[in-house]
Each structure stands twice: as C-alpha cells, then as structure tokens.
Amino acid sequence: MIPTFHFIYIDPGTGSMLFTILIGVISAGVYFLRNSFMKLRFIFSLGKQEKNVNDDRVPFAIFTDSKRYWNIFKPICDEFEKRGQQAVYLTASPDDPALGEQYEHVSTQFIGEGNRAFARMNMLKADVVLSSTPGIDVYQWKRSRDVKWYAHILHAANDVTAYRMFGIDYYDAVMTSGEYQAKQVRQLEELRDLPEKELPMIGLPHMDALRERLLREDEPEAHPVTVLLAPSWGPSSILNKFGSKMIDALLSTDYHIIIRPHPQSYTSEKEMLNALKSQYPDSDRLEWDSSNDNFEVLRRSDILISDYSGVIFDFSLVFDKPIIYADTSFDKGPYDAWWLKDEMWTFSILPKIGRQLTTKNFEKVGELIDGCLNAPELSEGRKRARSDTWANIGNSASLAVDYLIEKRNQLLDTKEAASSDDTKQSETKEGSKA
C-alpha cells in the first residue's frame, strides 16, 4: 500500500506571521538561557563581575537589508573610519560592495539573506544601531533586548510618510534632512499616541557624496540628448502603469533612451521586466542599465523621467537638471501618508522642478522634453527644493556620526550613573545591618 501525503497550503501572509512567532519564541529562549548562564557564572564567581562579559557587544552597528543602500552608508562608514571609531556594518546582501572595503576600524559582515538576517538582528548585542530599513517591530525584524538605541536614516530626499504603514514608529530616532519630515513624524506620533522620537537634522550623506564626486569630474563629452527613464517599483510605477506605451512614446523622439528599472523590480516584478526587455532589447537608440552605481548614468543624462522614486531628487538637486514626472495616480492606501491630511511634500514640489507627463500628452513627449531643457523657472524650483529637503549640505555624514557618538556616550553615562546609585543603595543597606 502506497502511503498518501496531505499537504497544507499556507499563504505568504500567514507564513510570515508564523515565522515571526517562531523567531520570537527562539529569541525568548536564547535570552532565557543566556541570562540563566550569566546568573550561574555570577554565583560561582562569588559575586565578582568578570571583565570580559560584554566582549561580543559592539558600540555601533549599521544594518542594511540590501546592497543598494551602500551609497547611504558609505559616507558614514568612511567617517567612522576617519575618526578611528569601532563599528560593524551588517548586510543581508552577499555581494554588497561594502564587503570589499579595506577598513581598519569598521568591520563589514554578511549575516545571511532575508529571514536569516532578521533572526541575527533580533539577537544583536550593540549600544546603537543605525538602519534605513523600515518596519522594525512590525515585521520579522524585532528590537533586540541587547540594543540600547535604534536610529533610522531615510533612503532619499522625500517624505517620511512614503514608507509602508508603521515603518518608523518603533525607532528611537529618525535622522531628517528637512523640517517637513519632522512635522510628519510628530503628526504620526500624535495620531498613534507614540512617544516622541529624537529627530536630529543631519542632511543627506549620499547626496553630499554625489555632489562631492560630481565636483571632481570634468564635463561629460558631447553626446546626443539623452533621456533617462528611472521609475520606482510597485503597482503605481511607470513601467507597471504605462509599460510599452511609455517606451514607444520615447522611441518616437530623436533622443537616446536609457531605461534604469528600480533594483527591487528585478526581484518583485521579474516577469513584467523580462517581458519588456524582450520586447525592447538594447540597440543604438535604447539601453537598459542595471549597474549598482548610478552615478555615471545620471551624469550623462540630460533629463530624467520618473514617478515618485527618490532618484528624482538625486538627479535634479545634485546634477541640477530638469525632470519629467509621470501621472501614475499614486495610491496612498498602503503608506503612512494615508493617515495625514496634508499633501505629500514630494507631490507639492514636483510641479516646481519639472513637468508632468500624462496619457494625454504622450504623443507630444518630445515637445515636453524640449520645454523642460529650456525652462529657467525650473532652475528656481530646484533651488527651493534644496532649501526644503537638503539641510547641512556637505556636512551630513559628520553630523550623523556626531549624533551617534553623543547618543552612545549619553546612554553609557546614564547606565554608569544608575550602576553607581545601585552600589550606594547596597552599601547603605549593608551599613544599616551592621
């Protein structure tokens, strides 16, 4: 008789929830065993503290769930290195460029992909953690009991509310680059009855680095007018909304076209992307770009077409070039922006730094491009946007590290003060017994 096997289907949402519960149980067990072991060591040492108990604790940890955020953290790692400060960079990408860096004071480690990385982070021992990954204590990534402080740094020069719901709720601090971001955080805290976070205004390290790099470069060689199509990802993005219609409209012009999909599209939208790349292969008129470093493609492009991707501000504010933004009818439903009545800053500033492309003016996209390339009012709009969203130009990495070091010192001082109080109370009790 052949045995029959019955398989139970578990949907991804339920699977994620079960994994989260499992990680919680495992973490609790690890903490219980660790604490029990420490108590036994304390008892058998007759109450004497051992010097190397916390040798595996790191002063500063940086965590990223993807190699594409190395441009955000490299300036900060460089600053730690310059100051001789010990830090560890933890990445969930086995091919993260950081792993090839030859730092003396900053160590770089691959900690596994996906849930393996989150499981490692859930039991991390560190004083201060910096990350650009949203959703801590919401999804698989939980706050470790052995981390004193979690600070978040934004992916780009845009709204804090552009994250999925509750993305930054359970951080202790959010590093900002504009006053409007601080206002959004405070509004969400009030609506959700959350304690106030610290909101250091540090700026944008990755844009500072791009600017510094651009200042060192010569002007690009003469080339035909080049249009860069660099959308975000998800159902509201250009390639999902318009796809082949968008590419056909661009190919109807005389311009050179570069298409640079969002890196997440290669993972989450592989089928859609492969279909478009098959339909529109590389040619003299069109090229697909997937390089990890986008500096060169931004430098040699004359105008950018995007939707709500953060690359809009890299291109317009650092390279000082015009943009065209597509009307994709952005759905705020899944995002924190849904909770607030105010218009998102991103969509209020776009008309000042570019022109809108809609299905109605697709056929005149060439005229739209020409108009943007020769529009002095858009240059003024870019100045306004820099003022709104790019604080402390040229100094952000230094300010970020200043904040992290000062916060750690403050936490250690508080701990030492508490330890001193406990010792005094113990001595008082012993004296009263005598």
291, 283, 305, 281: which is closest to 226 by C-alpha? 305
pLDDT under 50: residue ranges of the chain: 4-14, 31, 35, 37-39, 42-54
343, 336, 373, 418: which is closest to 152 by C-alpha? 336
H-type alpha helices, 252-291: 265-268, 270-279
Backbone φ and ψ for 283, nearest 5 degrees, come out as -155, -175
Tell me how far apart the alpha carbons of residues 62 and 73 are, in angstroms, rounded to a whole number. Answer: 8
C-alpha angle 26-30-31 in degrees, rounded to nearest 5: 120
Q: Any idea of the CA torsion for 147, 153, 159, 164, to the nearest 10 degrees? A: -40
H-type alpha helices, 217-306: 238-241, 244-251, 265-268, 270-279, 295-299
What is the reported pLDDT for 220? 83
Tell me how far apart the alpha carbons of residues 194 and 338 are, in angstroms, rounded to a whole number. Answer: 18
Positive or negative CA dihedral for 18, 20, 23, 25? negative
- Per DSSP, 337 falls in state G
What is the reported pLDDT for 374? 85
What is the reported pLDDT for 359? 79
What is the reported pLDDT for 194? 97
Q: Do 78 and 102 contact (CB within 8 A), yes or no?
A: no
For the chain, the straight-line distance linking the first and the last C-alpha, in angstroms and rounded, comes to 81
pLDDT tens across 378-401, in order?
A: 999 999 999 999 999 999 999 999
Positive or negative CA dihedral for 134, 139, 142, 143? positive
What is the reported pLDDT for 51? 41
Q: Residue 313 carries which side chain, given as an amino acid letter?
A: F
What is the reported pLDDT for 272? 94
pLDDT tens across 81-95, in order?
A: 999 999 999 999 999
Tell me how far apart the alpha carbons of residues 143 and 23 are, in angstroms, rounded to a whole number. Answer: 12
What is the reported pLDDT for 8? 47
3-class SS letters over 99-140: HHCCCCCEEEEECCCCHHHHHHHHCCCEEEEEECCCCCCCCC
398, 406, 403, 401: which is closest to 208 by C-alpha? 398
Q: What is the pTM of this model?
A: 0.80
What is the reported pLDDT for 310? 80
Backbone φ and ψ for 53, nearest 5 degrees, come out as -60, -40
Q: Do 135 and 20 contact (CB within 8 A), yes or no?
A: no
What is the reported pLDDT for 22? 56
In which residue are the tokens 């909101």 written? 199
What is the reported pLDDT for 1? 52
pLDDT tens across 250-278, in order?
A: 999 999 999 999 888 998 999 999 999 99
Tell me how far apart the alpha carbons of residues 163 and 150 are, in angstroms, rounded to a whole number. Answer: 17
Tell me how far apart the alpha carbons of residues 243 and 240 are, in angstroms, rounded to a whole number. Answer: 6
What is the reported pLDDT for 52? 40
CA distances, 5 to each of 10, 11, 14, 204, 250 (Å): 16, 19, 22, 55, 54
Using DSSP bridges, classify how beta strands 126-131 and 147-153 pair: parallel, antiparallel or unpaired: parallel
